[in-house]
Amino acid sequence: MGRVLVVGSYNQDLVWEVPELPAPGETRAGTAFRSGPGGKGFNQAVAAARLGARTTFIAAVGEDALAESATALAQTEGIEARWQRVSGQATGTAGLFVDGAGRNSIVVALGANAHLSIAHVEAQADAFTGATVLLAPLESPLPAICAAMRLGRAAGAHTVLNPAPVPADLAADALADVELLTPNETEFCLLLRQLADTAVDPASLHGLPDEALAALCARLPVPGVLVTLGEAGAFHAPGALGHGPATRAPAAAVRAIDTTGAGDAFNGALAAAWAETPSAPVATLLPFAIAAAGLSTERAGAASAMPRRADLRHRFGL
């Protein structure tokens, strides 16, 4: 098994379960509350580690009790964490509402995550040298993530950027070292608008034929684009800098109760599978990543809901 390096965010999640998501200005009574580790970066690192990948995680935390908890949790998950301690900043937090159908609304206070520095990333050069796959979401500063992509590409790692969330100032040159872009439907349409001056309704993507969806992927300045489509599965096609066929894969048959972190489970599983078989075409990794994402929705929580390899083997034979 190769090594997965994740550069990203750590948050403490505060989760309220509600029958229906509140409308603006509305107060709703919750049915339950829980708190646990999260942040897109940490979720993805946990997903990769639980699926058998040797995993290193680079992130920023504050100098507070939540940072100590993060350190202990990383050790428990077998993750080698490279923390940047940011004085005067709180460790990141996220507030989530989850309704009876498993849908969610999320508010994130990035805290120390917003101060992850290029200097700290570059100081972890040995982690990049040993990485098979570099994975990064965008809850951390774009300059630090671009530095990570540059170091990952120079080291010969597969570089995977999960553009979640899409920064308003994201430009094409920020993707110069990205091998594979993994947006969801909303993020994909934002990228098309910002980078290709193309307006597409996210709700329309599910109904597009493969040729039309592939043509949209080809407008983004990267070798490959992998769009997660929720209940419609996932779609992989070359970007403007790539070539090859497009592939669509169906969603896993699961009973979702909480979709929080499903995209992170997908990305972490994809990274773990690619680290295990670095020469494999991305299309062959989709069933594994989709199964992991599906299983994560059958449990409440974010990092705590990431499935283990034995879960995928028992449920899907993977």
Q: Any idea which residues carry the catalytic annotation?
A: 264
> How far apart (Å, rounded) are the C-alpha atoms in residues 315 and 313?
6
Q: Tell me the pLDDT tens digit for each residue of 183-219.
A: 999 999 999 999 999 999 999 998 899 999 999 999 9
> How far apart (Å, rounded) are the C-alpha atoms in residues 127 and 121?
10
Q: What pLDDT, on a 0 to 100 scale, did the predictor assign at position 8?
A: 97
Round the average pLDDT of the chain to a whole number and report it.
95
Q: Tell me the pLDDT tens digit for each residue of 237-254.
A: 999 999 999 999 999 989
Asked if pLDDT for residue 24 goes beyond 80, the answer is yes
* H-helix segments, the chain: 40-50, 65-76, 118-122, 125-129, 142-154, 185-196, 210-217, 262-276, 282-296, 309-316
Burial status of residue 135 (CB atoms within 10 A of its CB: 0-12, 13-18, 19 or more): buried
When comparing pLDDT for 55 and 101, which is higher? 55
Q: Tell me the pLDDT tens digit for each residue of 252-284.
A: 989 888 888 999 999 999 999 999 999 999 999
Mean pLDDT of all residues in 21-28 = 91
Which of 67, 66, 48 has its CA nearest to residue 57?
Answer: 48
pTM higher than 0.85 for the full model?
yes
For the chain, the straight-line distance linking the first and the last C-alpha, in angstroms and rounded, comes to 16
The answer to whether residues 270 and 229 touch, using CB atoms and an 8 Å cutoff, is no
Asked if pLDDT for residue 171 goes beyond 80, the answer is yes
Compute how many other C-beta atoms are within 10 angstroms of the C-beta atom of residue 10: 34
Which CATH class, in words, describes the domain spanning 3-305?
Answer: alpha beta
Q: Tell me the pLDDT tens digit for each residue of 124-133.
A: 999 999 999 9
Q: pLDDT band for position 142 (50/70/90)? A: very high
Return the bridge partners of 56, or none. Answer: 5, 80
> How far apart (Å, rounded) are the C-alpha atoms in residues 233 and 226?
11
Domain ranges of the chain: 3-305
Residue type for 81, please? A
